[in-house]
Copies of this chain bind each other. A is one copy, B any other.
Amino acid sequence: MFSPMIRELMESLRCLPGVGPRSAQRMALHLLERDRDGAVRLSAALKQAAEGVGRCQHCRTLTEEKVCQICANPGRDEKLLCIVENPSDVMAFEQAGGFSGRYFVLMGHLSPIDGIGPEDIGIEQMLKTVADNRVDEVILATNPTVEGEATAHYIAEELKSLGVTTSRIAHGVPLGGELEFVDGGTLAHALAGRKKVEI
Contacts and interface: CB of A to CB of B under 8 A. Distances in A.
Given A12-B41, A15-B35, A15-B41, A2 B91 contact: yes
A50 B33 contact: no
A53 B86 contact: no
Interface residues of A, number: 57
A38 interface: yes
A87 B25 CA distance: 10
A157 interface: no
Contact of A48 (B1, B8, B15, B64): B8
B43 A46 contact: yes
Interface of A: 1-6, 8-9, 11-13, 15-18, 23, 25-33, 35-36, 38-53, 62-65, 68-70, 86-88, 90-91, 94, 107
Contacts of A1: 69-70, 90-91, 94
Main secondary structure of the interface of A (DSSP, over half): helix
Contacts of A44: 12, 43, 47
B45 A8 contact: yes
A46 B12 CA distance: 9
Contacts of A41: 12, 15
A13 B18 CA distance: 13
A107 B29 CA distance: 11
A31 B49 CA distance: 9
Given A41-B15, A68-B3, A87 B50 contact: no
